[in-house]
A and B are shown apart, each in its own frame.
Chain A
Amino acid sequence: MNAFSYARPRALAEALRMLRNGAIALAGGTDLVGLMKDGLARPASLVDLTGIEGLRGWSHGKGRGLRIGALTPLVELETSDALAKTMPILRESLRDAATVQLRTMGTVGGNLLQRNRCWYFRDEGTVCWLKGGSRCFAIDGENRYHAIIGAQECVIVSPSDLVPALLAYDAEIALTSSRGTRQMKLADLFVAPHGRERREHALRPGELITEVRVPEAALARRGTYLKAMDRKAWSFALVSVAAAAKIERGVARDVRLIMGGVAPVPWRVSAAEKALEGTTLDDAACADAADRVLAGATPLRDNGYKVTLARELVRRALRSLVA
């Protein structure tokens, strides 16, 4: 690991000043420290955000939606019974995310910004396209965990379990930097690396995520999260599905269908959601939605199984909304 300076300010303004000067944000450190140890991140200075008041915890003001501080440890979202009533999908998605130790250290903001798990990317000695090299080694290499859809130069997959769940509820994020604040759709945070965009997130330098916001209207949806793994715990998703909808007299409205583990970004196809609108989420509608969400999938040598898995998880997730 390279030498670096470290500070743990109490005031947000102080943190923002340091970030403007090129410091890198440190939250739980469960991803960043690993990247540093492997020589994949070499920050000269770190700003530990965990000392800042007001970035931790969640609140639900009736009519004002749900607000989750970016520094809230994942385990707090998972274990709160009150939150499990407000937005049950959070607990469901986090239950099989990483391990309880990692969920205790890891934060919401860090989870949204975690980097991909491609094993060529994580191998310090391999300079692949995403790291500034000339080619992707996964496309014709060992690619059983890689993307089946939506990829261009780089076939990474979106690793987070929390993100699809939040997206199914139309989450937005609040950002702040020394230049001001802005709000954006969580979906817009994610970039499929391509062309000059050799990155995974659309965060600007010096910017912090302060909060995740879920609009009140979305909280009326039923939702579910399903995840297929290589073993029964402590594995990134091979394929995951978050589905949500308002069910009115057996008919689905405001349907959301987001997949993790299949594409470089959380995968969402609005044509699939539209086709489900007003249906009873019967088997035919589910199969049709699976066709649409996976239309144009081009599996690599070793990951064709993900298509089968994805189809089944989509069907199960949607069916469970009306079960």
Chain B
Amino acid sequence: MDELAEKMGVDPLTLRRKHAGSPKDPMSGKKYSDKHLLECYRIGAAEIGWQRRRSGGIRGSAPHRRRGIGMATQIWGGGGGPPAYATVHVNPDGTVVLTAGTQDIGTGTRTVIAQVCADELGVDLDAIQVRIGDTDHPYGPISAGSVTTASMGPAVRIAARDAKEQLLGAAAGVLETPKAELRLEGGVIVSKGARTPLGEILSKVENNTVIGKGARHPNDPELSQRTFGAHFAEVEVDVRTGEITVEHIVAVHDIGRVVNPTTARSQVEGGVLQALGFALSEERFVDRATGRVMNANLENYKVPTVKDVPAKITVKFVDRPDRRANNLGIKGLGEPPIIPTAAAIANAVANATGARVRHAPLTRARVLEALAIAEARS
């Protein structure tokens, strides 16, 4: 895309802006459920300082160092969908057990589904015990394809609503008040002028445990549910040794409503760091004669170290609920952060130096070769 822009003599972001606004998914011809890619571009360009970008790069911190800015886009799935099930048990003491067959591999699923449950049910987050990671539980999706939250979350919401309706029904009987006049807030049934703890209601009914059930609703088949995002990179390149230093990464994503800003931000930071290895140093070497992997170890399979991490990683979200995607307006964020990073870095390197490396990772060998080609051309 950047090379095309260069040939046309237009700014690569301008070129993208011109063509990225379509509300239709060109793959399926369906309309997107929602799309704020242009907004991602706007936020990202402001955060990285795109106006400083010059064709041919800018001066670096030393005569042999050049600076460049680049960006790349991600469009990914992440809409989630059925099947996914959850149950919400409200115990006689007012505590809640949320059960689902999904798992938390470090992405924050446990926290996020507890939040959805607490919010819908009207109880405190502390009141909820989450039971996941067991195939004896109602089926939940795998942690893959960026589908976990957007599949599981809506099912949890439906289960929580089911439990709430039953609780309000029970409370209406006990309090002899029409159900429509009752609310559940912070674990307390609120009616006109009175506040009754859940436990008190449940102690007065015979079936004193309420079990709510939820199944993920289907997606609208007429719509295409996608996530959008853009990453911007600023790099400095030592044009005589091929060394790349990533100074700043700006990551902006449109994933509908952000359920938890902290887990979302750390997912993006993690994705950026993984992609940094993908962009700069991680490579598998297979002996061509025997097929043996020569670097099945952490000495020669080079993941980034703390020193490789950019001085600054800025994470932003558009954070507008995608109301046509599902009952929470949320979409996934598993893979999106790793998608555009390497391309943004490679584009920044090309901007800084005129050297275009088309093969990841951008090792010294590849960068020096591309620099030699660029020099011969100019």
Measuring CB to CB, which residues of chain A are less than 8 angstroms from any residue of chain B?
117, 119-120, 123, 125-126, 137, 141-142, 144-145, 228, 230-235, 238, 302-305, 308-309, 312-313
3 smallest A-B Cβ distances: which pairs? A232-B307, A305-B365, A233-B305
B308 interface residue per 8 A CB criterion: yes
20 other contacts beyond A117-B299, A137-B287, with CB at 8 A cut-off?
A: A120-B294, A123-B292, A125-B292, A137-B289, A142-B286, A144-B365, A145-B300, A231-B281, A231-B308, A232-B245, A232-B307, A232-B308, A235-B302, A238-B364, A305-B364, A308-B242, A308-B372, A309-B241, A312-B241, A313-B241
In Å, the complex CA distance between A235 and B365 comes to: 16
Select one of B240, B281, B300 contacting A119, CB under 8 A: B300
Contact B304 A302 (CB under 8 A): no
How extensive is the interface on chain B, given as a class?
A: 20 to 34
Chain A, Cβ-Cβ closest to B309: A232
Contact A234 B281 (CB under 8 A): no
Contact B289 A231 (CB under 8 A): no
Select one of B245, B289, B295, B302 contacting A141, CB under 8 A: B289
Contact B364 A309 (CB under 8 A): yes
Contact A230 B281 (CB under 8 A): yes
CB pairs A–B below 8 angstroms (7 shown): A141-B287, A142-B294, A144-B285, A238-B364, A305-B242, A305-B369, A309-B368
- Which of B241, B302, B368 has most A Cβ within 10 Å? B241
B143 interface residue per 8 A CB criterion: no
Contact A119 B307 (CB under 8 A): no
In Å, the complex CA distance between A91 and B372 comes to: 34
Contact B300 A228 (CB under 8 A): no
Q: Which residues on the B side are within 8 Å of A312 (C-beta)?
A: 240-241
User: Interface readout for B43-81 with A: 1 if CB under 8 Å, 0 if not?
Assistant: 000000000000000000000000000000000000000
Contact A231 B287 (CB under 8 A): no
Q: Which residues on the B side are within 8 Å of A137 (C-beta)?
A: 287, 289
B319 interface residue per 8 A CB criterion: no
User: Interface readout for B223-242 with A: 1 if CB under 8 Å, 0 if not?
Assistant: 00000000000000000111
**Count of inter-chain pairs, beta carbons less than 8 A:** 67
Contact A231 B241 (CB under 8 A): no
Within the complex, the shortest CB–CB distance from B362 to chain A, in Å, comes to 11
In Å, the complex CA distance between A299 and B307 comes to: 30
Select one of B285, B295, B302 contacting A231, CB under 8 A: B302
Known: A228-B241, A312-B240. Is A142-B302 also a contact (CB below 8 A)?
no
In Å, the complex CA distance between A102 and B285 comes to: 25
User: Interface readout for B357-378 with A: 1 if CB under 8 Å, 0 if not?
Assistant: 0000001110011001000000
Q: Which residues on the B side are within 8 Å of A233 (C-beta)?
A: 305-308
In Å, the complex CA distance between A312 and B240 comes to: 7
In Å, the complex CA distance between A302 and B365 comes to: 8
Within the complex, the shortest CB–CB distance from B278 to chain A, in Å, comes to 13
In Å, the complex CA distance between A119 and B286 comes to: 11
Within the complex, the shortest CB–CB distance from B287 to chain A, in Å, comes to 5
B255 interface residue per 8 A CB criterion: no
In Å, the complex CA distance between A312 and B367 comes to: 15
B119 interface residue per 8 A CB criterion: no
Within the complex, the shortest CB–CB distance from B318 to chain A, in Å, comes to 33
In Å, the complex CA distance between A228 and B364 comes to: 9
Chain A, Cβ-Cβ closest to B304: A231
Contact A141 B288 (CB under 8 A): yes
Q: Which residues on the B side are within 8 Å of A117 (C-beta)?
A: 299
In Å, the complex CA distance between A238 and B245 comes to: 17
Contact A234 B242 (CB under 8 A): no
